[in-house]
Chain A
Amino acid sequence: MKGYKVAIVGATGLVGQEFIKVLGQRNFPISSIHLLASDRSAGKKLFVNHQEIEVKETTPESFEGIDIALFSAGAEISRYFSPIATQSGAAVVDNSSAFRMVSTVPLVVPEVNPEDIKWHKGIIANPNCSTIQLVVALYPLHKVNPIKRIVVDTYQAVSGTGSAAVDELTTQTKQVLDGQSTTPHVYPHQIAFNVLPEIDVFLDNDYTKEEWKLVEETRKIMHADDIAISATCVRVPVLIGHSEAVNVEFYQPMSPDEARRILAQAPGVKVLDEPGVSLYPQPWSAAGSDEVFVGRIRRDTSHPCGLVMWIVADNLRKGAALNTVQIAEEMVNREWVHPGRLKK
């Protein structure tokens, strides 16, 4: 099997390290791996398949000869380095928000719109974590019964913010249990034993940017500009695993049984739905898994065409690293790595 030269930008971050894990677990065809990060992290060593590899500083020269670059180092870094990487001939899969809503950049969840990868011009965007699990679970239903409106409330883990937020939650939790006072750094308020209805900045329409991403990205991925969506995104003191309470209105009625049957066959979805024995998805048990878990599927008693459900996934895996690597896999499998250039 041929191998690709893969660069990971943001290799020391939570998602970056997950990239390394997922690439290894899925036997991604790699001939060489290049770990890149900021100058602060340069010189650190990370294990890749039991082998220590040194992290290098990201520079414009880092991308020479690279086939595929996976970015997860924030929008600023992506905006600066992605064009340089593509000019060097690399295909970029970017986990930041920098290019997601750019019309010339495909935004892809392989279970939903793999064909969009085909028209990439060097950069493919990986959606926001809360969007990915939503569309993986809803698209199979939308295919058989188009969706008119979605109301979603999220319960998002701190690892979505990064390792500093994970430290803040654990530190604050200890401090509170020890009777000490806490000082918020990463979040505007204490996150331990608390919930914060503020993720990313507030916009002019009083939604947060996270909520608006859910609206716009969902429509773009599902090719459904006319779905009405309203979201409330909430940070909760959970380490890993985003949960979503989702209310869906379809064009026609759909029974919970039919929804379960469709979802049971859907790619990347696992139905956990036996309320009688308290079986439903939870972030604690979803952490480390690749699937999007769906449960609590029931009729919306307030609307004849409505269903309500509970969707949980590991935000670092399907919500970030796994989806990014799946995009890279689709590119490789379909020979869409270098469109317009000679196939390698």
Chain B
Amino acid sequence: MKKLGRLLTAMVTPFNDEGMVNYEQAKKLALALLNSGSEGLVVVGTTGESPTLIREEELRLFAEVKSAVGKQGTVIAGTGSNSTAEAVEATKQAEKIGVDACLLVVPYYNKPTQEGLYQHFKTIAQVTNLPCILYNVPSRTVTSLSADTIIRLSHVDNIIGVKEASGNLGQISQIISNTREDFLVWSGNDSDTLHILALGGYGVISVASHLVGNQIKGMIDSIINNKMDEAASIHRRLMPLINALFVVSNPIPVKYALNHIGFYVGKPRLPLTEPDEKSAALIRDTLKNYKIDLPLSTK
């Protein structure tokens, strides 16, 4: 199987002044990210405002980003849903477009049982040849995938890993210990990347990598090369930025930060808004202390 990459960016979806998807800017952003440390992109994740995109926009984003990126990096399509049938359909269509993998979030709002979750993911994985990554983010979905269910699901051939944003390092250790060697754990929280990689995790699906991709890549390389001192130095320095990027709901801060540094991605769609002045000031002040790795493109 093709390597998906240790550093994947959960890419924001750029909108124009009218609130329509700005596909040109999405392609530019994708390439800029791949030129600043990211090895692949998650398109139409929560950071990409999946809840407020329509199917047609999602599919076009997959296609346009994949065609812009070519072989320079991987494209992972967010095709999860809280309806198994919907997720099956979206995954089939993404596969037809030629994405490299899909990211399947835990069904939100309807609170399935662990057995329901197992059936849900297995059903989706069985209709596709795409590598599937599970996404456990109980802070957003209420329901959490248990370690046992993840371990059970790791026996499905094309379920190749999990994006873990539970923040539960005990659960993550258990997953790493009890799954096959090539079952990969990506950190789903920028603040947990160091810890998860130290436990034997594989990488991160990052938001902060929009701005400091090379630095996060450097941290990952340091951990792989057993230079924990170096990695910890990078991690500690990145923490204030990571905190600022989550001062209100993601992707509000990262979109504001990108606009602020001159990479235009527009406002979020309602019900998300721009940050209030206090949060905005915190983001601006924090950014001053960082080298921005993202190469800037013009509006």
Contact = CB atoms under 8 A, between A and B. Distances in A.
Pairs A-B, 8 closest by C-beta atoms: A146-B291, A144-B233, A143-B218, A144-B234, A251-B291, A252-B237, A252-B289, A144-B230
A265 B230 contact: yes
B233 A262 contact: yes
Contacts of B234: 143-144
A122 B289 CA distance: 41
Contacts of A163: none
Contact of B291 (A140, A148, A258, A262): A148
Interface residues on B, range: 10 to 19
Given A144-B230, A145-B237, A262-B233, 10 more contacts: A140-B230, A145-B233, A146-B215, A146-B290, A148-B291, A251-B289, A251-B290, A252-B289, A262-B229, A265-B230
B171 interface: no
B171 to A, nearest CB: 30
A26 interface: no
A134 to B, nearest CB: 19
Contacts of B222: 143
Interface in B207-229: 215, 218, 222, 227, 229
A265 B229 contact: yes
Q: Which one of B227, B290, B291 has the highest number of Cβ atoms from chain A below 10 Å of its Cβ?
A: B291
Q: Which one of A140, A143, A145 has the highest number of Cβ atoms from chain B below 10 Å of its Cβ?
A: A143
A145 B235 CA distance: 10
B230 A143 contact: yes
9 contacts: A143-B230, A143-B234, A144-B230, A145-B237, A251-B289, A251-B291, A261-B229, A265-B229, A265-B230
Nearest to B215: A146
A258 B289 contact: no
Interface of A: 140, 143-146, 148, 226, 251-252, 258, 261-262, 265
B230 A262 contact: yes
Interface in B136-180: none
Nearest to B290: A251
A267 to B, nearest CB: 10
Contacts of A251: 289-291
Contacts of A144: 218, 230, 233-234, 237
A258 B233 contact: yes
Contacts of A252: 237, 289
A148 B291 CA distance: 8
A146 B227 CA distance: 17
A143 B231 CA distance: 9
A301 B290 CA distance: 21
A146 B234 CA distance: 10
A88 B290 CA distance: 48
B291 to A, nearest CB: 4
Nearest to B212: A146
A258 B230 CA distance: 9
Contacts of A148: 291
A15 B233 CA distance: 38
A155 B218 CA distance: 32
A121 to B, nearest CB: 20
A282 B226 CA distance: 31
B91 to A, nearest CB: 35
B105 to A, nearest CB: 34
Interface in B258-272: none
B202 to A, nearest CB: 21
A145 B230 CA distance: 10
B169 to A, nearest CB: 24
A341 B212 CA distance: 37
Contacts of A262: 229-230, 233
Nearest to B235: A144
Nearest to B234: A144
Nearest to A147: B291
Contacts of A143: 218, 222, 230, 234
Contacts of B230: 140, 143-144, 262, 265
A238 B275 CA distance: 60
Contacts of B289: 251-252
A144 B227 CA distance: 11
A171 B41 CA distance: 65
A254 to B, nearest CB: 8
Nearest to B226: A265
Interface string B286-299: 00011100000000
A148 B288 CA distance: 12
Contacts of B237: 144-145, 252
A146 B215 CA distance: 8
